[in-house]
Every structure is written in structure tokens, then in C-alpha cells.
Amino acid sequence: MTSATVSHSESAAASPVLAGQNRIRLLGLIFSVVFFAIATKLAITSAIAPVSEPPGEVVAAAGRIPRPDIVDRNGNVLATDVAVASLYADPRKILDIDEAVELITAALPDIDAKMLDTRLRQPGRAFIWLKRQVSPEERDTVFNLGIPGVAYVNERRRVYPQGRLAAQTLGYVDVDNRGIAGIERYLDDAGAIYTASLLEPGKDKAAPAELALDIRVQHALTDELQMAMTKFKAIAAGGIVMNVETGEIVALTSLPDYNPNAEEKKIGRDQQNRMLSGVYELGSVIKAVTFSMAFDYGVVTMESKFDARTPLVIGSARINDFHAQRRVLALPEVFTYSSNIGTAKMALEVGVERHKAFLERVGLLDKLTTEVPETARPLLPKRWGRLVSATAAFGHGFAVQPLQGLNVVAGLLNGGKMLQPTFLKRSKEEADVLARQIVREETSAHMRELFRLNATDGSAAKADVIGYRVGGKTGTAEKVVNGRYSSLKSLATFIGAFPMEKPKYALIVMLDEPQATPETFGFATSGWNAVPTAGKIIARIAPILGIDPVFTAADREKLAKQAKEKKQG
């Protein structure tokens, strides 16, 4: 009885204490809920910070799979993504739009205040971009303003560490990191499967896209073309270096170019990739195709002769030679003197239909495509007759891409194997599987002999770099101005290869409207500008490409003479 009484008294005494503790716990719970609600509200309307559930536009911008890096054949980075912030606003959460506009435009002067004010006041608008891909300084400046309803999201920006080098080949992306041109567009279009298939395990980024480009060769090519463009006051210049055994494009330059890192890229007609998206009459360079055709059809031999004493008359047209010899020319002389008369007579012996068939065989009548989407279709005569065939034989009357012309000549010199050019790395074994025989090996051997002869005794002599056995063909074509050929404006072209006993690399050099200089004695033809430019390029890139010089006794004499002249000078 006593024990029970004591227990009841202790319980009664403890009740007020327990009741107080319960009230404290309840108040704590209520306070926590209220605090959490306030904190959540503040987080939503707080100053700039990434939010936990951003609008769909922001999610889409931030959630794209990163683009793969683009690297050259040696692993040098040509294009990559870097993290950047982009500013946006939810107008519904901005307390004072006038103040917000004033503060934001003061921090970001390139934003138009009137336009921003209009966009922020649009009824029901829940999201607007303020500025995409801002610098860390701009992001922090806006952060410190403390404007409710303004936030940022981390995105990716494409950067090109090599700047302008190979800009037209690489292309560029838009503000949403989508490929717009060049290899960048290829990675989004035909290369989308390529990109997705190279996702590395455990990583959110594709393996790099390896190009055939060699940035060292690219630099040398661009540098020499830029100097030539300035020296000869040309309005544009371009060049390509190709591996004739694999079809790989090792370097491609088109000037003027552009800076792919610039926010506002000035890309007009002048900045187009002339080597792919432009078509030009390549002039006498095309004679290499005509000679190959005549050899392959068996209508000429190295001992053939052609009467070039008088102009060739077809109907009312008269075909003349620029370097007229006014005599009977042996076939090698037709090549080294670049005789229009002799070359046209070859085409006439072949015949119109077989001429067209050969041009189709080597791919000059079709559009050439590569991974770079910017590409042009050849401009061809509507009707083929004897006169058209005769003039087409020396490059007059039809226009092709410079890469297309280079690719055909490469196929004529490498044993007669035509390859589809590629900007991606390709092994010789892979190339051999893809090769298509276009002429006999004997024909190719004859062409190598003629190309080399033209560099030792003909119009390509200024490209003959001692030790590298260069061969080549020149071409100077009058440009069409207002529907007529102009004798005052021309396109100078050189296509060459080295070493000629077994060519490994071929190149094309073009100068658009080069001007005569005192050094060229008033001439503006290819042999005085594009050819020496090519020689300088070869001298710089041959050692980079691993081509060892081989010096004959005559070469050593020339080197000794040059050293003596340099010392005396």
C-alpha cells in the first residue's frame, strides 16, 4: 500500500516536467518547419546561384553530351570544351524590374537596356537568357548585385587553342555548341554515330576525333601563303598538302581566314574555304590529265611529235601558245613549254566521247565530297564538241575544286591509284583497300618523268628544292569578269609532288590575282609567284614529314654555289 502511494506521487510530480518537454519539442518542430519554409523561399528568390530545379531551357543547355576534342595526327589539341557560365533570369521573381535593368546593364554594357526591359516585362515569361557564356569576372560581378530571380548555369564553350590555324577545316559551333561548319558539323551530322560510339567507359566525353592534319605543316603552309599573298599583293591564297599514298589531307589553308574563338565571327564570301567550296579554272595544270589520257588510250608515246608552227584553227576559233615556239615539238617539250596547240591536238586524237569518259573516270565530272561538308560541284560545259574538247584539254572552259584537281594529279602520279581524300587519319593498309586504279602504272611512270622534267628544265624550276626531287605543273588562268575573260586578272596555280621517283606528298598552291613585281620582271604568271612559294613550302615541310634529302654531285655543286653567293652577298 505504501509502495503504491509513493509511485503515484512520483508520477504526479513528473507530469509537469514531461508536459514542458513535449511543448518544447513541438515548438522546436514548428520552428524548424517555419525556418525550412523561409530558407526554401529565400533560396528560390535569392541572389544569383545555380538552382536545384532550373527551367527546361537551362537543363537542355547544360545537359548536352560534351563534344569530343579534335586533335591533329600527333595528338595536339585543335578544339576542346571549357566550362563557362551563362546568365538567365526568371522575370516573375524580380521585385523591381527598373532597378534590375539598371544594375545588369551597368555590369554588362553590351546588353541593350531597352530590349532587356521589354523582355523582362513580357506577361507570363518565366525564363530569358541574359548573356550566354560569360567570363568568370562577369559572372562574379552580377553575382554581387544580389538581384532576386537572376541565376546562372554552367555550360560548355568550344575553344580552339591554335587560333586561326586550320580554321576553315575545323569549322565552328554556335552558342549551343552545335557544329555549324567544317569538321565540327561533321561530328554532329555524319559523325554523330562516330561520336557516340567512342564514349569511353566511365566517362561522359567521347574519345578525341583524330585528324590527318599535322599542325606543324599547317603552320608552315599558312605562313608561306600569307607572305606570298602580301608580296604579290594577291587578294586571296590557298594551299593543300596531301599524302598521295593514303589520301590524307595533312594541311589545308585558305586565306583570308577567320578567328574561330571570336564571339562575333566575320565570315563572308572572302573567308569561305576556297579549297573546297570554290571552283576554279586551273588552267594548264589540267594538261597533266590530258597527257595521262593520251598515254593511257595509247594515242601518244614519249617519242610523239606535234606541229606547233601555226595556231590550231577549229571553226572560227584559233588556239595559240602563250610561250609560242613556232616549231614542231617533241612530246616532253609540249609539256615543259605548256603548249596549248600540242595538248589540244592530243585531245582531238583521243576523240570527244573518250575524252569525256576519261574525265569521268578520274572524277572531274562529279562533285568531290569529304568529311568537311562545304563542297562545290564542278562547272562543266553544257555541250561537248571538238572545240570544247580542245579547250578543256588545257583547262579552259570548266572549273573544279582545288582539292579535286590535286586529288586527280596525286592519283596520276602515285601509280595510278585514285583515293577518296580524307581529313581523318588513315593507314596505308586501309587506303590500299579503298584505292581505285584509274590509269596504268606505265602511264603514271611517264607522268612522273614529265613532272620532274618540268621542275628541272621547265616552268616549275623555282619549286625544285635541292635534294627533294620535286616535280610539278604550272597553270595561269584568266578570270571571268562580267561574263568575259579578263587579261588583267588571273589565278596562278601550281601542283607538285615529291620525291618524284616515288611521290609521298603532293601539294597545290594558288594565288588569286597576284601582281607583277620588279623581281618578276613584270610577269604575274604562276612560274613567278605560285611556284617559288611552293618551293619555300616544300623546303620547310619536307624535313617535318620525314623526307630525307638525297644529294647528287650536281646538287652539291649547286649548294656550294649558293653558299658562295650568300657569303659574297
| Residues with catalytic roles | 284
Q: How far apart (Å, rounded) are the C-alpha atoms in residues 367 and 407?
A: 12
CB-CB contact of 127 with 90 (8 Å): yes
Which helix (H) or strand (E) is 132 found in, with range? strand 128-134
Residue 202 DSSP SS3 = coil
Q: How far apart (Å, rounded) are the C-alpha atoms in residues 499 and 550?
A: 10
Residues in Cβ contact with 257 at an 8 Å cutoff, skipping those fewer than 6 apart: 164, 167, 168, 271
DSSP strand pairing (484-498 vs 505-512): antiparallel
Query: Can you give the three-state secondary structure of 290-322, one letter per residue?
Result: HHHHHHHHCCCCCCCEEECCCCEEECCEEECCC
Q: How far apart (Å, rounded) are the C-alpha atoms in residues 60 and 129?
A: 13
Q: How far apart (Å, rounded) are the C-alpha atoms in residues 156 and 95?
A: 30
C-alpha cell at 436: 581505285
Please choose, from the candidates 529, 27, 190, the residue with its C-alpha nearest in 3D space to the C-alpha of residue 182. Answer: 190
Q: How far apart (Å, rounded) are the C-alpha atoms in residues 168 and 255?
A: 10
Q: How far is CA 64 from CA 57, 60, 154, 155, in A?
A: 11, 7, 11, 9
Torsion of CA 158, 162, 167, 169, to 10 degrees: -90
CB-CB contact of 505 with 243 (8 Å): yes
Q: How far apart (Å, rounded) are the C-alpha atoms in residues 291 and 307?
A: 16
Residue 79 DSSP SS3 = strand
Place of cell 597545290: 508
Q: How far apart (Å, rounded) are the C-alpha atoms in residues 244 and 407?
A: 8
C-alpha cell at 60: 537542355
Q: How far apart (Å, rounded) are the C-alpha atoms in residues 68 and 35?
A: 45
Q: How far apart (Å, rounded) are the C-alpha atoms in residues 410 and 496?
A: 9
